[in-house]
Amino acid sequence: MSYQPHISVVIGTRPEAIKMAPVIHALAAAEDMRLSIISTGQHREMLEQVLTLFALKPDVDLHLMTPNQSLSSLTEKALNGLTRYLDQAKPDMLLVQGDTTTVFAASLAAHYLGVKIGHVEAGLRSHDMANPFPEEANRRLTSVLTTLHFAPTPLAKKELLKEGHDDDTIIVTGNTVVDALLRLSDKLGPGLAPHLMPLVGEASRFVLVTSHRRESWEHGLPDICGAIGDLAAAFPDISFIYPVHRNPRVHDVVFAALGNVANIHLTDPLDYLSFVNLMRDATLFLTDSGGGQEEAPTFHTPVLVLRSVTERPEAARLGMAQLVGTDRALIAEKAAKLLTDEHARQRMRQGSNPYGDGRAAERIVEALRRYFGGETPILPVERQFQPQGKIAQ
Ligand code: UD1
Ligand code: UDP
């Protein structure tokens, strides 16, 4: 048998596992490549939920999570733990996904050891190092060290080109989260699963909420909670469902602010299938999540993005999302408009998902095969992802 390149995939948090699951499954099915999976364990329960759902079994788990971990201690432990593993396993390429501490530490460890890096979801840019923090820095630092950039969209490719990365090394794949989502949505029934019904109760409609961004902890999150409280009071016939992130800096603030309101349902993080079911059937989705912004357009669920700036502007440019920031009055005003004006809501339900078409993992594996086989281009342009509809660049 000819040489099989060894591809290591590293994951650490919930969104990395969701977004790498399709890539891992595609690599596992490729007989001409060897796969190993590393988990830093940056997250614990929230990662376990995804590993179980997608039947992912890491070859090594560094079990790094500690309560209220600091960025620097996590980075230090991840750098050392990953260095030990990579030095012994010596993969031909390490695949990292996104912009977390795991991604940056893994990229640095690989670079120090001369291991090539493939960056999945490369090229997202907010152009603001403080928003999101520290993710904008993590993904920029990773790009500098990367050999193959798997850009999800043409806009992400454009950002990488502006930074001087070589056109030949950038492959537009679509976002792998759409692959994960489409695969799962086949498993969903027509309405809400029975175990989710109590979250809606007697209400006629529901709004789904998530918020966890580090840069929002001080001012943004209390304002977001204030807006949800105002909306719940103004719309007693609507249920507000908020699966709260386990980070104590988020969890404690949200439960203190919204824990005792009849039509607000705070829950632990939901398993991905349940969450996707809610996202599909929600009247409105309020979120600061990166993945959430990329998923909702598949279901035509209108999104209010609870951030001042986003590195995922495509949905807003198509009118499928609105960037509202974290101002209490503005969030309440924009949400109220969409909850009372059916035409305004319907206008946001047009178009197809600009972030992907469900074939990203297939493109990544094909590009890896061609790269290690010495073929150029790494993936012909006509096989790369092209969103439908005109997105203002
Ligand atoms: C991290 C990522 C962020 C990503 C988010 C996805 C960084 C710097 N941040 O933020 O980019 O959007 O994950 O959710 O990489 N915790 C638990 N159980 C869990 C997960 C977290 O208890 O399963 C608690 C722990 O107290 C932990 C804290 O949350 O110390 C913070 O986790 P961490 O991964 O450092 O930051 P996130 O805010 O989750
Ligand atoms: N998600 C989930 N359960 C929840 C909330 C979110 O499975 O209770 C999924 C969501 O569909 C998306 C991902 O988690 O795929 C987003 O993760 P998160 O918001 O933690 O991180 P981000 O995308 O902002 O980095």
Same domain, 322 and 362: no
Chain position carrying tokens 């204030």: 226
Q: How far is the CA of 32 from the centre of ligand 2 (A)?
A: 32
Same domain, 15 and 142: yes
Which ligand 2 atom is at minimum distance from the Cα of 293? 23
Domain membership flag for residue 184: no
Same domain, 99 and 230: no
pLDDT digits (tens, 9 = 90+) for 63-104: 999 999 999 999 999 999 999 999 999 999 999 999 999 999
Residue 392: pLDDT band (50, 70, 90) is low
Domain membership flag for residue 182: no
Q: For the whole model, what pTM was predicted? A: 0.98
Domain membership flag for residue 390: no
Is 11:35 a contact under the CB 8 Å cutoff? no
Residue 28 has pLDDT above 80, yes or no: yes
Strands 321-323 and 93-97: unpaired
45: domain range? 6-175+356-383
Same domain, 63 and 211: no
Residue 393: pLDDT band (50, 70, 90) is low
Domain membership flag for residue 50: yes
CA separation for the pair 25, 314 (Å, rounded): 28
Is 52:274 a contact under the CB 8 Å cutoff? no
Same domain, 126 and 196: no
DSSP state of 215: G
Same domain, 216 and 77: no
251 lines ligand 1 (CB under 6 A): no
CA distances (Å), 109 to each of 41, 42, 95, in order?
16, 16, 12
Same domain, 343 and 364: no
Q: How far is the CA of 210 from the centre of ligand 2 (A)?
A: 8
Residues with catalytic function: 99, 121, 135, 212, 214, 245
Q: Which residues pair with 239 in a beta bridge?
A: 206
Task: Give the pLDDT mean for 149-168.
Answer: 98
Same domain, 20 and 169: yes
Domain membership flag for residue 392: no
pLDDT digits (tens, 9 = 90+) for 299-331: 999 999 999 999 999 999 999 999 999 999 999
Same domain, 151 and 276: no
In terms of C-beta density within 10 A (0-12 exposed, 13-18 middle, 19 or more buried), how is residue 217 classed? middle
Which CATH number do you get for residue 117? Answer: 3.40.50.2000
Q: How far is the CA of 13 from the centre of ligand 1 (A)?
A: 7
Same domain, 261 and 151: no
Same domain, 144 and 217: no
Q: Which ligand is nearest to the CA of 216?
A: 1
How many domains are there within the chain? 2
Instruction: Report the candidate in 330, 351, 241, 220 with the shortest Cα–Cα distance to residue 285.
Output: 241
Q: Catalogue the long-range contacts made by 388-391 (C-beta closer than 8 Å, 24 or more residues apart).
A: 388/351, 388/352, 388/354, 389/318, 389/351, 389/352, 389/354, 391/154, 391/155, 391/314, 391/317, 391/318, 391/354
Same domain, 361 and 233: no
In terms of C-beta density within 10 A (0-12 exposed, 13-18 middle, 19 or more buried), how is residue 68 classed? exposed
